[in-house]
Amino acid sequence: MNISLVLYVVGNVLFSEAVLMLLPVFVALLMGTGDWIYFIYTIVPLALVGFLLRLKKPKLSRMRTREGLAAVAFSWIFLAAFGALPFYFSGYFAGYVDCFFETVSGFTTTGATILTDIEGFGNGGLMFWRSFTHWVGGMGILVFVLAILPNMDGSTVQLLRAESPGPEPGKVVPRLKETARILYLIYFGLTILHILCLLATGMPLFDSVIHSMGSAGTGGFSNMNASVGAYQNPAAEWVIAVFMLLFGVNFSLYYLLLKKQVKDVLKNEELRLYLGIIVAAVVCITLNVAGKYYEGSWPDAIRTAFFQVSSIITTTGYSTADFNLWPTFSKMILVALMIVGASAGSTGGGIKISRLLVLAKTVKAEFRRLIHPRMVRAPRMDGRIIESSTVKGILIFFFTYIMIAVSAMIVISVDGYDFETTVTAVLSALGNIGPGLSAVGPMGNFSGFSVLSKLVLSFCMLAGRLELFPMLILFIPSTWKKSY
């Protein structure tokens, strides 16, 4: 392990975070709140640590897979550790662990909160920072760093692979730096468009920015206790629901649209399955809840069903209704969507549509082989053969995902919550979703969990956002052995 290289990357990330914290300082000063001082307390040591770590570039700058995984894991841990300090200095939270949980939830775009009175937090620098962590974490802090800093060498693709959500992230264009810039330009453009659309619905500017950053990062932090439902604004609900869906699409498809390769986008199998699942889920939930919960008001039922399906499958976590009260059939659909998640290469979490599609095609090919033993036909996706190594990697991911989920459920079950709360709290954290069911439902929060459970759930959020392996590799002794 080339420790000096890992620390150099971490230093760049921390220094970048210090620069990004100047934005909530500006917001606090603009809005006349006094919480800007908490960011100054953080920026000074943060910038100093970042500057010292990046002061000396390592002699050996070639980044192998394990350096990439370790650099990403440590970057996100320290990003959250320092990012929690403004919350801690504010004194609004019960302790540092709560601040760390909230910040991890923000950067990983989970949206799970320990706040019992969100509106009491106030609309200022701290509230802005809370949602801004969604926006930064959605595309990835390492992607941001790669976009603005010089490459150490061509091997920095290991950082992109370790941080990007999805089984096989790739480069949009040959140069990695240009790929990072293109992704962020698309991301920024969609965010600005989202803000403008919300302003057109009558939502206040600050609230529009907060909810747009939450939708963009598929995070779900709102500045209202009742989330988006507090506004009673159907137009805003439609806008947010549509943009959540858009941010759950693989961003490389937007690049293809810019290149006017519309046919390639329409032929994308993951996109078609993603949209198909959404349509099917909306229809089923609408039929299930319309008569009993919406007194035959089909427009309200369709809008609410579409909003919650879009929110859950993209792992955003906004809500306009307490789906804890819905029939079991509808709740089971939402739990299934929690596990499925959004598209690979999007800002959404979950297992990802592409993984499920690959496994489905592999199972189909195996059945065909059993029926016709002499037939030799490899499964394909988007016209390309699915390599056996890809299938193997996805199977390993699934097994690891299940083991982490089961282990975490066993640990937090010690807190004594009911089965529904315990299971969905872990699924929510690991899938970066936000709300679960029962005590952690859309009208609940995670404040009642013990310190140990909050730390376990924080680990799950980080593991889920980083595709499991960057966090797990830290616990393997051979990772730290020197080799060149």
In 3D space, the residue among 190, 286, 307, 189 whose CA is nearest the CA of residue 242 turns out to be: 307
Say whether 179 counts as a known binding-site residue. no
Integer Cα distance of 137 and 372 in angstroms: 47
Integer Cα distance of 289 and 110 in angstroms: 27
Cβ atoms within 10 A of the Cβ of 229, count? 20
Say whether 113 counts as a known binding-site residue. no
Q: Which residues pair with 385 in a beta bridge?
A: 380
Integer Cα distance of 38 and 29 in angstroms: 12
Say whether 316 counts as a known binding-site residue. yes
292 and 209 Cβ atoms separated by less than 8 Å:
no
Say whether 156 counts as a known binding-site residue. no
Say whether 109 counts as a known binding-site residue. yes
Say whether 110 counts as a known binding-site residue. yes
93 and 102 Cβ atoms separated by less than 8 Å:
yes
List the binding residues for K(+): 109-110, 219, 315-316, 432
List the binding residues: 109-110, 219, 315-316, 432
